[in-house]
Chains A and B, each alone.
Chain A
Amino acid sequence: MNKKTDKIKVYVPLDTTAVSLGADIVAKKISKLAKENNQEVEIIRNGSWGMFWLEPLVEVEINNERIAYGPVAPEVVEHLFTSKFLEGGNHPLRLGDVQKLPFLQKQTRLCFERVGKIDPVNIEDYKKHNGYTVLEQTFNSSPQHIIEEVKEGQLRGRGGAAFPTWIKLNSTLEAQGDVKYVVCNADEGDSGTFSDRMVAEGDPFSLIEAMTIMGKTTGANEGYIYLRSEYPVAKVCLTKAIEEARKHNYLGKNIMGTGFDFDIHLRIGAGSYVCGEETALINSLEGKRGIVRKKPPLPVHEGLFGKPTILCNLITMVSLLPILRMGGKEYAKFGYERSRGTNPFQLAGNVRYSGIVEVPFGITVQELVTDFGGGTFTGKPIKNIQIGGPLGYHMSPSLFDMPLDYEAFLKIEGHIGHGGVVVMDDTAHLDDLARYAFRFCEIESCGKCTPCRIGSVRGREIMDEIIAGKDRAKNLALIEELCETMEFGSMCAMGGMTPVPVRSALKNFSEEFYQ
Chain B
Amino acid sequence: MKFLPYKESKAHLIITQHKDVKGGLIVALRDLADTFGYIAPSLFDFIAETFSVSAVEVKGVVTYYHDFKTEKRATNVVQVCMAEACYARGSSEMIEELKNVLNIDIGEKDIHETFEIEPVYCFGNCGTGPTIRINERIFSNINKDNVRAILRNYRMEEEENE
Q: Which residues of A contact B (CB under 8 A)?
A: 16-17, 19-21, 25, 52, 55, 188-194, 196-197, 229-232, 267-273, 284-291, 305, 346-351, 354-355, 377, 386, 390, 420, 422-425, 427-428, 432-433, 436, 440, 443-444
Q: Which of A52, A192, A270, A350 contacts B83 (CB 8 A)?
A: A192
Min CB distance, A384 to chain B, in Å? Answer: 9
Cβ contacts under 8 Å, A188 to chain B? 124
Can you name 23 A-B residue pairings with CB atoms under 8 Å? A16-B138, A19-B138, A20-B131, A20-B139, A21-B140, A25-B161, A191-B83, A191-B86, A191-B122, A192-B83, A194-B125, A229-B67, A230-B120, A267-B27, A272-B64, A272-B66, A285-B26, A287-B23, A287-B25, A291-B64, A354-B128, A433-B84, A443-B121
Identify which of B6-14, B87-95, B109-117 touches chain A.
Answer: B87-95
Q: With contacts A267-B26, A390-B83, A423-B88 known, is A351 near B127, CB below 8 A? A: yes
How many pairs of A and B residues are in contact by the CB < 8 Å rule? 152
Q: Which residues of B contact A (CB under 8 A)?
A: 22-27, 29-30, 33, 51, 60-61, 64-68, 81, 83-90, 92, 120-129, 131, 136, 138-141, 161
Min CB distance, B48 to chain A, in Å? Answer: 12
Most buried by B among A190, A285, A287, A427: A287
Cβ contacts under 8 Å, B65 to chain A? 270-272, 290
A348–B161 touching, CB < 8 Å? no
Q: Which of B121, B125, B138 contacts A440 (CB 8 A)?
A: B121
Cβ contacts under 8 Å, A290 to chain B? 64-65
Q: With contacts A20-B140, A25-B161, A436-B84 known, is A273 near B23, CB below 8 A? A: no
Q: Once the chains are docked, how many angstroms separate the CA of A216 from the CA of B56?
A: 40
A194–B124 touching, CB < 8 Å? yes
Cβ contacts under 8 Å, A423 to chain B? 88
B84–A17 touching, CB < 8 Å? no
Cβ contacts under 8 Å, A20 to chain B? 125, 128, 131, 138-140
A17–B127 touching, CB < 8 Å? yes
Query: In chain A, what residue has the closest Cβ to B90?
Result: A427
Cβ contacts under 8 Å, A21 to chain B? 128, 140-141
Q: Once the chains are docked, how many angstroms separate the CA of A194 from the CA of B87?
A: 16
B122–A192 touching, CB < 8 Å? yes
Cβ contacts under 8 Å, A197 to chain B? 124
Q: Once the chains are docked, how many angstroms separate the CA of A436 from the CA of B128?
A: 21
Q: Once the chains are docked, how many angstroms separate the CA of A354 from the CA of B125?
A: 10
Min CB distance, A278 to chain B, in Å? Answer: 15
Q: Once the chains are docked, how many angstroms separate the CA of A354 from the CA of B88?
A: 13
Q: With contacts A267-B26, A390-B83, A436-B84 known, is A289 near B61, CB below 8 A? A: yes
Q: With contacts A230-B120, A288-B61, A428-B87 known, is A346 near B23, CB below 8 A? A: no
A420–B126 touching, CB < 8 Å? yes
Cβ contacts under 8 Å, A428 to chain B? 87-88
Query: In chain A, what residue has the closest Cβ to B160?
Result: A25
Q: Once the chains are docked, how many angstroms separate the CA of A19 from the CA of B138?
A: 7
Q: With contacts A267-B27, A348-B126 known, is A377 near B64, CB below 8 A? A: no
Query: In chain B, what residue has the closest Cβ to A350?
Result: B88
B124–A271 touching, CB < 8 Å? no
B88–A349 touching, CB < 8 Å? yes
Cβ contacts under 8 Å, A194 to chain B? 124-127
Cβ contacts under 8 Å, A427 to chain B? 90
Q: Once the chains are docked, how many angstroms separate the CA of A272 from the CA of B61?
A: 12
Query: In chain A, what residue has the closest Cβ to B89?
Result: A350
Q: Once the chains are docked, how many angstroms separate the CA of A273 from the CA of B68?
A: 14
Cβ contacts under 8 Å, B126 to chain A? 191-194, 346, 348-349, 354, 420, 422
Min CB distance, A493 to chain B, in Å? Answer: 16
Q: Once the chains are docked, how many angstroms separate the CA of A22 from the CA of B161?
A: 12
Q: With contacts A191-B126, A230-B124, A355-B127 known, is A270 near B84, CB below 8 A? A: no
A192–B90 touching, CB < 8 Å? no
Cβ contacts under 8 Å, B121 to chain A? 189, 191, 273, 390, 440, 443-444
